[in-house]
Amino acid sequence: METQMTSSEDSGEIKGNPKREVLIKDVLRNPNFNEDNSSPRSVLEIPVLSSDLENSSSSRSSSSMDKLIGHQGLVTESNGSQWRNFLDNIKRKSVRRFSSFPRRSLRRKLARIRSAEERIEYEEPTMPKPSWRNFSYEELAAATDNFSSEKLIGKGGHAEVYKGCLGDGQVVAVKRLTRKEKAEEERIADFLSELGIIAHINHPNAARLLGFGVEQGLHLVLDFSSHGSLASLLHGSKKPLEWTIRFKVSSGVAEGLHYLHRGCNRRIIHRDITASNILLTQDYEPQISDFGLAKWLPEQWSHHIVFPIEGTFGYLAPEYFMHGIVDEKTDVFAFGVLLLELITGRRALDSCRQSLVMWAKPLLDENKMEELVDPCLGHDYDIIEMKRMILTASMCIHNSSTMRPHMSLVLQLLRGENGTMDVTGRKIKPLLLDAFELDDYTISTYLKDLNRHKQLALE
């Protein structure tokens, strides 16, 4: 089909050919011509059942007319009626041709659409419609005292988070993107990616989006978690975090990750599960936050290969910082490190840049529980829950991704369900190996690669 021209282009070309101009004037006198559309092609529109068919038939017919006009340079006003008869004949044939179009197929499609709409409306009444607000900059500035440093509650490599109070009294967290080293197009793409991901999430163990703002910067507005981050309570408080809260956090984060990996409409890999990105509500319910590095993972893909490698030192899985491989097991490894933090009270990477995984691995292999447990807890913990968490952590931080459990098994391990846990601390039946194990990726190799990656990032 030839490219259609605008009406101005058509008129410009016609004026150069007086004989074709006569024909177009004759067409314009046709009572069926629509004055709102200056293109003479409107007289060739064929009334059919589907608007899509109407558009396509109109385009084809108009293109044919242009070709005919182009080839007939001797058209005059006297034989214009012959042309109209010829075009009327084309119309009749086109109507007959399209009237034989299989209507049942169209009806079935419409019926399926209506049926799907009814199922959404009547079978899933519990799913609320999105109510995200587009906040103005004035609203966000007023809520945060013009983004005062006193309202700053969190800061990372690419964002700042402020505590805010909206005009109606609702307390919120306002996340402002600050990646100024990136081009504006990249920042907008990152913002839209994070917004698109978090907008699809609906789980009690994931941060809830309230709205966004795009004036004078890019902002996300989220529910406020009154107890702040797990890192601030676990590592920044003089009072030790009690065991019941630690175990509740481990179970809640596992639930949230299982939802992202298996329960959400699309598989989501968070890529930055850290103690700083786990927020705690008033009743210490954990919420996974900061989806700035998150990735969609289509069902037909086993993994992503990403570059550059981004994340938090101490939580990076070996296959990720070595080869850029991202899948569910990337989050599982980071979750294992998070469990070690809850068990030991230590940071994932201490002030001397010592890896918690490297420190804990020998103790895990030798099953030295007493040396692993946070001294601040004393003996104030449930020994069965502690053993479950230690076993789960040791499996999650395995060097090989395929030896790590999926989050569904992690939940069973933490709950002690279906005989998956031996309370003596012995490990359960290992998973099958794949080609990655043939590399014999050892602890020393892991440490060497981790140090090399840190040096590259800090240069």
Active site residues: 272
Sheet holding 133-134, edge to edge: 133-134, 209-213, 219-223, 171-177, 159-165, 152-155
> Are 398 and 437 a contacting pair, CB within 8 Å?
no
Q: What are the C-alpha distances in Å from 252 to residues 28, 155, 209, 291, 380?
A: 71, 24, 19, 17, 21
Q: Which two tokens stand for residue 172?
A: 């919120």
> Are 173 and 165 a contacting pair, CB within 8 Å?
no
Phi and psi at residue 289, to the nearest 5°: -130, 180
3-state secondary structure at position 128: coil
What span, in angstroms and rounded, lies between the C-alpha atoms of 407 and 331?
Answer: 9
**What's the CA angle centered on 51, arms 45 and 56, to 5 degrees?**
55
Residue type at 46 in one-letter notation: I
DSSP secondary structure code for residue 239 in this structure: S
Q: Which two tokens stand for residue 379?
A: 């003996």
Which is nearest to 70 in space by CA: 25, 7, 9, 17? 17
Count the residues in the chain: 459
Q: Which two tokens stand for residue 220?
A: 């996300």
Helical H segments across 32-102, by residue range: 51-71, 80-99
**328-344 vs 407-415: helix axis angle to the nearest 10?**
30
Phi and psi at residue 221, to the nearest 5°: -115, 125
3-state secondary structure at position 401: helix
Count Cβ atoms below 10 Å from residue 165 Cβ, excluding itself: 15
Instruction: Identify any residues that bridge with 180 across adjacent strands, giving them in sequence order.
Output: none
What span, in angstroms and rounded, lies between the C-alpha atoms of 1 and 67?
Answer: 11
Count Cβ atoms below 10 Å from residue 63 Cβ, excluding itself: 16
What span, in angstroms and rounded, lies between the C-alpha atoms of 448 and 352?
Answer: 16
Rounded to whole angstroms, the maximal C-alpha distance in the chain is 107
